[in-house]
Each structure stands twice: as C-alpha cells, then as structure tokens.
C-alpha cells in the first residue's frame, strides 16, 4: 500500500474540488482505520503516516483531516489522542516541514 500512497498527490495538484474531496475521503478512511485497528496501530503509524509525512504536497490536506477528526472527537477524546500520536508519526517523515505547518496553522 505504501507505494500507492504516492499517487494521492496527483489528485491534489489541480484545482479540481471533486478530486480533492476523493483524496479527503481516502484520508478519512485511513484515519478511521488508524483509530479502530488497535492490533495494526504500530504498522499503520509507520507505514502509512510516516510515508505520507514525506509527501510535501499532501501535508496540508492531511493535517486538515487530522484537525477535523480531532475536533469531532473533542478535547481528550480517543480520536484526539490518536490524531496527536499520528501527527508525531506523520512528522517522522519530515519533522521540520510538519512542525512549521502545525505552528503556522495555530497562529
């Protein structure tokens, strides 16, 4: 699955909202899988989110999905905690870029 993730960026480069919504839907499904599949959690973090963290053009869309999921769960919820852990896994692929995006999105 990891090599396939690189193709997601092809759908985000254009200003086509339908394609962006499909990418967002895929990310939402990956987030749901991350939250629900406790036995696969370490593998999902390393293989999926670590790989997506290396794709610069996808980081905005991914972080937006993380924030949306965290907000729907509420402060201190399982969803928010999993998204915080997942943001760390995402940053492992590109620490400087992810931390800059998170910092500037909170300002």
Rounded CA gap, 79 and 47, in Å? 20
Tens-place pLDDT, residues 27-36: 999 999 999 9
**What pTM does this model have?**
0.82
How far is C-alpha 78 from the chain's CA centre?
A: 16
How far is C-alpha 53 from the chain's CA centre?
A: 8
Tens-place pLDDT, residues 64-90: 898 899 888 888 888 889 998 998 888
Tens-place pLDDT, residues 15-69: 777 888 888 999 999 999 999 998 998 899 988 898 888 888 888 889 889 889 9
In the numeric block, which tokens belong to residue 81?
Answer: 């905690």
Q: Could you tell me the residue range of the domain that residue 56 belongs to? A: 2-105
Domain count, the chain: 1
Question: Which residue has tokens 């339908």?
Answer: 18
């Amino acid at each position: 699955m990891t090599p396939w993730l690189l193709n997601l960026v092809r759908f985000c480069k254009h200003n086509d909202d339908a394609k962006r919504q499909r990418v967002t839907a895929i990310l939402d499904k990956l987030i749901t899988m991350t939250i629900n599949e406790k036995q696969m959690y370490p593998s999902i973090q390393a293989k999926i989110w670590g790989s997506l963290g290396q794709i610069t053009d996808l980081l905005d869309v991914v972080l937006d999905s993380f924030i949306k999921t965290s907000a729907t769960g509420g402060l201190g919820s399982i969803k928010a905690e999993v998204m915080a852990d997942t943001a760390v896994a995402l940053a492992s692929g590109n620490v400087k870029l992810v931390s800059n995006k998170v910092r500037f999105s909170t300002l």
